[in-house]
Amino acid sequence: MSETPLVGLDGLTVRFGRPRRPWRPNGSVTTAVDGVDLRVERGETLALVGESGSGKTTLARCVAGLIGDYSGTFRFDGEPVGARSRRRPELRRSIQMVFQDPRSSLNPRMTVGRIVAEGWEAHPSAAPADEKAALAELLDQVGLDETLAGRRPGELSGGQCQRVSIARALALRPRLLVCDEAVSALDVSVQAQILRLLIDLRGAYDLTILFITHDLGVVRQIADRVAVMRRGEIVETGATAALYAEPAHPYTRELLDAALDIESEAAN
């Protein structure tokens, strides 16, 4: 028997809008995620790729518990889970998310130290005995100087803000890190640094990562496996190298060709 995956989605479906009814002729519904079956194994980094509007963020938000209204099942380590409000604190702690825009995802009025340590109030089980020492260690691990603890997000660069977001997530010792376009808003050189950081931390923290991106260049650097999403459905999954070498689905081929065009334009 195969081992239980950390994340198991079966027929996950998310619809937005209001259905058309005789009394509501202008109703309309978007099926953002359409019957997705997906596994993420323990310790693996799975990239979810697809063009804009394909449903990646919606799927990520479901997993992170930010969307409660879905059908199908989501099992975490074998246990069926519901929306965030209905999740046990232990489960909430176990799944953390890093968002695309490092600035708007951090409270501008709070210091870096408060931002990183805030989760310990809601999750005392994850709170270290010596918070000050733990904070210094976390900042060090994400490559930030301890003296930045007193600064506010507005005084930091985009890359530094993203490091703070990562430290905030790690403070709770998550088992799954969901990164939604976590490097897309950064310059290419900063992107590479943050990817390197995630790769290092994944080992140190024994993380499983669901890494969402529309950038196939980034995928190759970080993912063990790739799932390709199109119009709410997963059209192909495969080991990263195999999928790049021999994409099975025409849509995956299109995505790869488009990425190659961008790379060669950048080189010229």
Ligand X SMILES: Nc1ncnc2c1ncn2[C@@H]1O[C@H](COP(=O)(O)OP(=O)(O)OP(=O)(O)O)[C@@H](O)[C@H]1O
Query: Which residues make up the interface to Mg ion (CB under 5 A)?
Result: 57
Residue 55 three-state SS: coil
Q: Which is nearer to ligand X, 58 or 240 (CB)?
A: 58
Q: Which does 30 bind (CB under 5 to 8 A by kind): Mg ion, ligand X, none?
A: ligand X
Distances in Å between the Cα of 10 and the Cα atoms of 13, 157, 190 are 9, 40, 36
Q: Which does 32 bind (CB under 5 to 8 A by kind): Mg ion, ligand X, none?
A: ligand X
Q: Which is nearer to ligand X, 4 or 184 (CB)?
A: 184
User: Interface with ligand X includes 147 (CB under 6 A)?
Assistant: no
Show the tokens assigned to 110: 């709070």
Name the packing angle between helices 188-204 and 158-170 (round to 10°).
10
Q: Which is nearer to Mg ion, 57 or 162 (CB)?
A: 57
Distance CA 157, CA 30 (A): 37
Q: In the complex, what is the shortest distance from the CB of residue 73 to ligand X, in angstroms, rounded to a whole number?
A: 19
Contact pattern from residue 52 through residue 91 relative to ligand X, giving x for each residue in contact according to CB under 6 A and a dash for the rest:
xxxxxxx---------------------------------
CB 224 within 8 A of CB 239: yes
Amino acid (one-letter) located at 267: A
Q: In the complex, what is the shortest distance from the CB of residue 211 to Mg ion, in angstroms, rounded to a whole number?
A: 12
Q: In the complex, what is the shortest distance from the CB of residue 249 to ligand X, in angstroms, rounded to a whole number?
A: 17
Show the tokens assigned to 76: 């975490």
DSSP H or E run through 231:
none
Show the tokens assigned to 243: 């999928």
Site for ligand X in 195-224 (CB under 6 A): 214
Q: In the complex, what is the shortest distance from the CB of residue 48 to ligand X, in angstroms, rounded to a whole number?
A: 9
User: Interface with ligand X includes 230 (CB under 6 A)?
Assistant: no
Distance CA 67, CA 58 (A): 8
Q: Which does 53 bind (CB under 5 to 8 A by kind): ligand X, Mg ion, none?
A: ligand X
Q: Which is nearer to Mg ion, 55 or 153 (CB)?
A: 55
Q: Which is nearer to Mg ion, 98 or 117 (CB)?
A: 98
The residue count for the chain: 268
SS3 assignment for 160-171 = HHHHHHHHHHHC
Closest residue to Mg ion, based on beta-carbon distance: 57
Distances in Å between the Cα of 23 and the Cα atoms of 19, 28, 53, 200, 204 are 11, 13, 29, 56, 57
Q: Which does 214 bind (CB under 5 to 8 A by kind): Mg ion, ligand X, none?
A: ligand X
Q: Which is nearer to Mg ion, 164 or 212 (CB)?
A: 212
Which residues would be at the binding site for ligand X (CB under 6 A)?
16, 30, 32, 50, 52-58, 214
